[in-house]
């Protein structure tokens, strides 16, 4: 996994609640057996005026001028501001794959859906939960000033606004450590292989019917 | 000993290791696998030179991409076909407890076949790369959806990294009215607590109205726990659970059955167990439900109206409603029963089991599809459900009413196969998500129970099934 330490990035606002993973990456792209290449189809139904198909040349498709991420001022954005319950719905990891491939590294919102939140960390994408009032203020500032950037420091657990205000955020220490180092979860877990084996043997003895 | 919730019992019996911050490794008993979320996991495993930890935990099937008609022609879409063939190859290479491939007599939706084969048992941890894995919690097991990285993690280590959830009890007491089903109960719950109301919680359903439900009804309710934001839904074990599991193919037999049942009877929340949050709902207050918007929380009763955004003060909510009404092509204040439908879909991991088909058939019997309805799809959840329905003659009722009787699969719940809505088409659907584009780009989905879907099919618009 790609480590995440610090980022000074352009911010884009996606001002709607309950953005679901079907919206982040529609189902026809889930037929891929690869992990990469989903970025051009992130938010496909909002971003383009036609219906996307796997394998199509997205550079030739008509863009929806009303979709916020298509505005010139947000090109190259690496931080996405969101509203409540971002990433709800399906467990498809294609959603964080698409956001990461699009270029996002940080998501900031008042709340995220559980499975999406979890999947993001596995892909070097940092979702940050802030109070709704803080998020409101970031939306206001971002929309008011073109080229709005934020500095995110994972080690210090801070977001710094252009006006100098620093906002602290929470993160599980274990997740933080994994993300800072880009650690592979599986490698970490396999350090406990003996413990897993012992647990399994005990469970097999106690509940043999789960091992039929 | 301190009174424990069912979630606490299941959690504590699976912790292998715990980090200082409470992140735990929990052991996984059952790993359900389908074609959409597994190829990258198998590839990752192979690239890292790792082997699956315990293939005997794997039960696999192909469901999302499979066609529901003309099975003789195979899978026409080459991209879908490649995904299904990749699953075939992966399972052939690593092995499994059971694999029900495309066209197998027991193939079907992963959340239907696990329980009906007795591969989902009380006291287990069950995972699948699919958010509707919450369904299996109806059996008193800890079951939830995971992402593809976690699928790979479970394949490689038989464990999952997790933090303990908070506990939420939804207690539904009383008796459901005639024509009110499990689907109406869960939609009413989501309408009450919202699509994020269960975020961070393991959501247990209890109370006399839940106890009175069949396993099919309990599965419908747990299936949509994720639509309320909870990864896991739960119902405690009782005689209904045990009766359902007896003599299923993978259920324990003989002395092991007796031993298992002894243990399973302890799998319920103890008297006096404390939940972090409790929500109480009176069964008598629940009426048939219909969603009007693009999130399952955008729901009302069949005698209700489409809401008026002008009456909402919170700007984010108001804009959400305005956007939803625009997408859905609906005017504020329209009575629900004035909304016509173009298509009807009866199926999905929420409502494709035998009891669901019986409910729909009871309404369809002696009636015909309204001329204005283009198509009514009835898609059984599995090959076994299909055979059972045919043995009961339900397919003849559907066919006589002008409905289409299809092969099993996920079908138009998410339209990864050829079954889908055209832009602007409106559908009464027994599935679980009314998101924009879910059933086809530009398609408009209204979530309802199987009986309400059949009622819409025969009248051409949403109709109170109790008045038919």
One pLDDT digit (tens) per residue for chain A, 212 residues: 889 999 999 999 999 999 999 999 999 999 999 999 999 999 999 999 999 999 899 999 999 999 999 999 999 999 999 999 999 999 999 999 999 999 999 999 999 999 999 999 999 999 999 999 999 999 999 999 999 999 999 999 999 999 999 999 999 999 999 999 999 899 999 999 999 999 999 999 999 999 98
Stretch (H or E) spanning B179: none
With contact defined as beta carbons under 8 Å apart, do B405 and B343 qualify?
A: no
Contact B130 A113 (CB under 8 A): no
* Chain A residues in contact with B54 (beta carbon < 8 A): 200
Which residue(s) pair with A159 in the sheet?
A152, A167
Contact B320 A18 (CB under 8 A): yes
Contact B36 A45 (CB under 8 A): no
What does each C-alpha distance from B285 to B173, B304, B432 come to in angstroms?
10, 14, 22
Distance CA(B113)–CA(B97), nearest Å, equals: 13
Contact B36 A55 (CB under 8 A): no
Distance CA(B225)–CA(B204), nearest Å, equals: 9
Distance CA(B14)–CA(B25), nearest Å, equals: 8
Contact A114 B319 (CB under 8 A): no
Nearest CA in chain A to B39: A33
With contact defined as beta carbons under 8 Å apart, do B122 and B239 qualify?
A: no
Tell me the average pLDDT of chain B.
97
Contact B36 A17 (CB under 8 A): no
Nearest CA in chain B to A172: B21
Distance CA(B420)–CA(B93), nearest Å, equals: 33
Extract the annotated binding site of B: 349, 410, 413
Which pLDDT belongs to residue B316? Answer: 87
For chains A and B, what is the number of CB pairs under 8 angstroms? 196
CATH topology of domain A6-181: Aconitase; domain 4 (3.20.19)
Nearest CA in chain B to A82: B316
- For chain A, the domains span 6-181, 184-212
Sorted by where each starts, the structural domains of chain B and their CATH numbers stand as 6-163 (3.30.499.10), 166-237+269-285 (3.40.1060.10), 290-467 (3.30.499.10)
Query: Helix (H, G, I), strand (E, B), or coil: what is residue B309?
Result: helix
* Chain B residues in contact with A119 (beta carbon < 8 A): 147-150
- Residue B304 phi, psi (nearest 5): -90, -170
With contact defined as beta carbons under 8 Å apart, do B32 and B133 qualify?
A: yes
> What's B22's DSSP letter?
S
Radius of gyration of chain B (CA): 21
Which pLDDT belongs to residue B17? Answer: 98
Q: Considering only the beta carbons, identify the residue of B20, B80, B196 that sits closest to A85.
A: B196
Extract the annotated binding site of B for [4Fe-4S] cluster: 349, 410, 413
Q: Work out the burial of residue B92: count CB atoms within 10 Å of its CB; fewer than 13 is exposed, 13-18 middle, 19 or more buried.
A: exposed
| Structure ipTM | 0.96
Interface probe for B, chosen from A31, A121, A198 (most Cβ of B below 10 Å), is A31
Contact B56 A211 (CB under 8 A): yes
- Cβ-based neighbours of B321, under 8 Å, separated by 6 or more: B293, B298, B307, B309, B312
pLDDT, one tens digit per residue, over B327-353 is 999 999 999 999 999 999 999 999 999
Contact B438 A114 (CB under 8 A): no
Q: Considering only the beta carbons, identify the residue of B23, B36, B147 that sits closest to A174.
A: B23
pLDDT, one tens digit per residue, over B365-404 is 999 999 999 999 999 999 999 999 999 999 999 999 999 9
Residue labelled with tokens 């269960």: B198
Q: Is the pLDDT of residue B325 over 90?
A: yes
* Chain A residues in contact with B43 (beta carbon < 8 A): 33
Beta A149-153 vs A158-160: how paired, if at all? antiparallel
């Amino acid at each position: 996994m790609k480590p995440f330490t610090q980022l000074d990035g352009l911010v884009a606002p996606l001002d709607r609640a309950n953005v679901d993973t079907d919206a982040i990456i529609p189902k026809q792209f889930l037929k891929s057996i690869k992990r990469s290449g989903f970025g051009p189809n992130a938010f496909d139904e909002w971003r383009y005026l036609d219906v996307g198909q796997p394998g199509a040349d997205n550079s030739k498709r008509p863009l929806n001028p009303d979709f916020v991420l298509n505005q010139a001022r947000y090109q190259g954005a690496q931080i996405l501001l969101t509203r409540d319950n971002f990433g709800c719905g399906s467990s498809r990891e294609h959603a964080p794959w698409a956001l990461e491939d699009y270029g996002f590294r940080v998501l900031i919102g008042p709340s995220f859906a559980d499975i999406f939140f979890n999947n993001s960390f596995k892909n070097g994408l940092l979702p940050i939960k802030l109070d709704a009032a803080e998020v409101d203020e970031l939306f206001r500032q971002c929309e008011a000033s073109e080229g709005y950037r934020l500095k995110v420091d994972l080690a210090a657990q801070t977001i710094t606004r252009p006006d100098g205000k620093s906002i602290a955020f929470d993160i599980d220490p274990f997740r933080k450590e994994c993300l800072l180092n880009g650690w592979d979860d599986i490698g970490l877990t396999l350090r406990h292989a003996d413990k897993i084996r012992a647990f399994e043997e005990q469970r097999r003895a106690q509940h043999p019917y789960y091992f039929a | 000993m301190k009174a424990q919730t069912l979630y606490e019992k299941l959690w504590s019996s699976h912790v292998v290791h715990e980090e200082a911050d409470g992140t735990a490794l929990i052991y996984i008993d059952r790993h359900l696998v389908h074609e959409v979320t597994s190829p990258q996991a198998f590839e990752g495993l192979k690239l890292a030179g790792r082997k699956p930890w315990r293939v005997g935990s794997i039960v696999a099937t192909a469901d999302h991409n499979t066609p529901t008609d003309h099975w003789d022609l195979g899978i026409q879409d080459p991209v879908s076909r490649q995904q299904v063939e990749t699953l075939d190859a992966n399972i052939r290479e690593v092995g499994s407890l059971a694999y029900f491939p495309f066209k197998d007599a027991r193939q079907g939706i992963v959340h239907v076949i696990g329980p009906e084969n007795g591969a989902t048992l009380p006291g287990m941890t069950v995972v699948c790369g699919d958010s509707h894995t919450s369904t299996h919690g109806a059996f008193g097991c800890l079951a939830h959806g995971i992402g593809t990285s976690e699928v790979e993690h479970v394949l490689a280590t038989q464990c999952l990294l997790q933090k303990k959830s908070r506990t939420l009890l939804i207690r539904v007491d009383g008796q459901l009215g005639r024509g009110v089903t499990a689907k109406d109960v869960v939609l009413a719950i989501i309408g009450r607590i919202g699509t994020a109301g269960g975020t961070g919680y393991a959501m247990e359903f209890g109370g006399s109205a839940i106890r009175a439900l069949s396993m099919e009804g309990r599965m419908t309710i747990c299936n949509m726990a994720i639509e309320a934001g909870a990864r896991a839904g739960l119902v405690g074990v009782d005689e209904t659970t045990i009766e359902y599991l007896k003599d299923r193919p993978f259920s324990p037999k003989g002395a092991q059955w007796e031993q298992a049942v002894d243990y399973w009877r302890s799998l319920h929340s103890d008297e006096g167990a404390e939940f972090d949050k409790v929500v109480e709902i009176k069964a008598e207050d629940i009426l048939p439900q219909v969603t009007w918007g693009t999130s399952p929380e955008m729901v009302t009763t069949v005698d209700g109206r489409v809401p008026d955004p002008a009456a909402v003060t919170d700007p984010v909510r108001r804009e959400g409603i305005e956007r939803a009404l625009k997408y859905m092509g609906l005017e504020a204040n329209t009575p629900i029963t004035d909304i016509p439908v173009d298509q009807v879909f009866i199926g999905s991991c929420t409502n494709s089991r035998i009891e669901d088909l019986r409910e729909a058939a009871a309404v369809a019997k002696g009636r015909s599809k309204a001329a204005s309805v283009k198509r009514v799809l009835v898609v059984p959840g599995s090959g076994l459900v299909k055979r059972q329905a045919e043995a009961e003659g339900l397919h003849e009722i559907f066919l006589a009413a002008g409905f289409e009787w299809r092969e099993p699969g996920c079908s138009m719940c998410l339209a990864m196969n050829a079954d889908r809505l055209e832009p602007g088409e409106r559908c009464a659907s027994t599935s679980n998500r009314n998101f924009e584009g879910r059933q086809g780009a530009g398609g408009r989905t209204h979530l309802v129970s199987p009986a309400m879907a059949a009622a819409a099919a025969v009248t051409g618009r949403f109709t109170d099934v109790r008045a038919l």
